[in-house]
Structure 1
Amino acid sequence: MGTGCEGCRRGEPFDLPFSMAFQPIVNLRDNTVFAHEALVRGVNGEGAGAVLERVDPLNRYAFDQQCRVKAIELAAALLTPEDEAKLSINFMPNAVYEPRACIRLTLATAERVGLPLDRIIFEFTENEQLDTRHVLRILETYREIGFKTAIDDFGAGHAGLGLLAKFQPDLVKLDMDLIRHIDVDPVKRTIVKHTLRMLDELGVTPLCEGVETAQELAVLEDLGVVLVQGYHLAKPSFEAMTRPQPYHRTGQAA
């Protein structure tokens, strides 16, 4: 396995224990769970903030590595053999020093628990200023290895269209602020409609997150959205994977 890059070795440990909750990403076309997103939680189910506030530039490499291991181990224990759902893991680009060196523990964990690499999605949020060239190296390396990739909170980050012009991931998650109240906001509908068309032409699968009402879901269905995520379908479940009730085209539970 080796010892990793020098940047990895310089980091400090992350000593706060934590766990994960999982929120399903639903395929509306066939009422199946496309993937479960792993979301960090305290060991007793506390919100992510209680854990993330302890992350700093010195320990974020160790934290990022522990998140990957925890998510993969828990998912492997919870997914049934016949379950084809994927696992979506958030990662911190600034915690990745050299992509191929920093991925070794992830690869070893996936192999140990028997989780195929093509069932793992790595998604990142542009919530801090990033070196676009560094992000591209990470995404390209992950694709070469066999992982799926996703840009989270598209429309709210720093790079946005500039990054998309250089790299087309498997998935783009439209920011929840674009989805909130889309049923009563014609401007948001127009933005989302044309974003969906752009992603289709680029061969990128859109995913709309933050769906909180049946009305929002109905608009997204009318726009042709297939993958959705949000409290209206299912909230995150602590150390468990829930399956939301099937939904009709009207957005109402079956």
Structure 2
Amino acid sequence: MWSPCASCNTTVPLISQGELITKTKEYSYTSFEELDALLMHVEGTVYCVDNQSNSQTPRLEVEVLRDQLAHRHIIDQIQHGTFESHLQPIIFLDSKETFGYEALLRSGASISPGDLFRTANRFGLHSKLDQRARAEAIKATFEAVAPHQKTFINFLPSTIYNPDYCLQHTFDIIDRYGLSPDRFIFEVVETEKVHDVDHLQHVFSTYKQRGMKVALDDVGAGFSTIDMLKRLEPDYVKIDRSYISFCDEDAEKRSFLKKVRALTNSMGITLLAEGIERLEEADVCRELGFDLAQGYFFGKPAPANKHTFEIA
């Protein structure tokens, strides 16, 4: 059975009332606002103590603690708040039938995904948030995605330190819901920022060994040497929306898309166009032989319960 590692167990404890301890003095406070005001007049290393539970925060530099206080609402959401997955449809370009969905994390506190992940990365909570996102996506698949359809789930390679160990939590949840592994496609985000290809190769291999598919997301001009594709062997490649937007009016974009289609086709890789918002863009991608498409033209992300299905 999986048990959380140090990274997934990382917490940022914040004490709303208690004692602020400095090297020379102790100060009582009854709110975060009072604590922040106190921190403006002290320096060095400090920590807080909860008088009722005797728990305390780690020793931190004043500015670090103030930074945590400034982001406390997002930190609390990451650690204790509710989340859900919104599903955006992915369609077959030739038949226009639904192939599956991409699961996108949304917070119950209406905090933007960008703010969530930036704050998580800033305070060492990125592994915990990434893990929660995968769990919500699997739950949404169980509740709202038909058995013959697929779910794309994003992940950050930097949050998975040891794939054989870290991903066991994901596999356990899939097993708990009784879902077939082949219903999931795990896509690495920020493809062009991947520096440790060997590590990503290990992550991909771990997913594949458990019967899942893998994808490269937001692929653009910095993509792809043939060598990188051969090493990673993705099942799917998703083309960045910047190359899709108004591709019908840009010959250079169409030339790039044509080359990508030829390369991925020769390697047996399924190609998906992201960010389609206009019929003309869909037509170009269809004519070039793209397999799948996603974008507001076909449907916006919506709560999982909007995609419920009936089993025949």
The answer, yes or no, to whether TM exceeds 0.5 is yes
Q: Provide the residue aligned with 1:217 in structure 2.
A: 282
1:136 corresponds to 2:135: no
User: For 1:53, what is the secondary structure of its paired residue?
Assistant: helix
Q: Provide the residue aligned with 1:120 in structure 2.
A: 184
* Pairing 1:1-254 to 2, within 5 Å after superposition: 1-3=1-3, 7-8=7-8, 11-12=10-11, 14-15=78-79, 16-43=81-108, 47-56=112-121, 58-80=124-146, 83-125=147-189, 126=191, 128-155=193-220, 160-161=224-225, 162-242=227-307
Asked if the contact 2:186–2:215 (Cα under 8 Å) also holds between the matched residues in 1, the reply is yes
Unaligned runs of 5+ in 1: 244-254
Asked if the contact 1:176–1:208 (Cα under 8 Å) also holds between the matched residues in 2, the reply is yes
Asked if the contact 2:86–2:105 (Cα under 8 Å) also holds between the matched residues in 1, the reply is yes
Q: Within 2, Cα distance between the matches of 1:2 and 1:35?
A: 28
Asked if the contact 1:20–1:40 (Cα under 8 Å) also holds between the matched residues in 2, the reply is yes
> How far apart are residue 5 of structure 1 and its match?
5.1
Q: Within 2, Cα distance between the matches of 1:47 and 1:211?
A: 22
Report the TM-score when normalising by structure 1: 0.86
Q: Provide the residue aligned with 2:66 in structure 1.
A: none
> How far apart are residue 206 of structure 1 and its match?
0.5
Q: Percent identity?
A: 32
> How far apart are residue 239 of structure 1 and its match?
3.1
User: For 2:121, what is the secondary structure of its paired residue?
Assistant: coil
User: For 1:199, what is the secondary structure of its paired residue?
Assistant: helix
Q: Within 1, Cα distance between the matches of 2:306 and 2:232?
A: 31
CA RMSD of aligned residues (A): 2.1
User: For 2:119, what is the secondary structure of its paired residue?
Assistant: coil
Q: Within 2, Cα distance between the matches of 1:22 and 1:45?
A: 16
Q: Within 1, Cα distance between the matches of 2:221 and 2:85?
A: 25
Paired residues, number? 239
Query: Aligned AA for 1:78?
Result: A
Q: Provide the residue aligned with 1:249 in structure 2.
A: none
User: For 2:299, what is the secondary structure of its paired residue?
Assistant: coil
Asked if the contact 1:36–1:241 (Cα under 8 Å) also holds between the matched residues in 2, the reply is no
Q: Which has the higher contact order (CA 8 A, sep 6+)?
A: 1
Q: Within 2, Cα distance between the matches of 1:241 and 1:188?
A: 35
Pick the structure with greater CA Rg. 2
Unaligned runs of 5+ in 2: 13-77
Query: Aligned AA for 1:97?
Result: Y
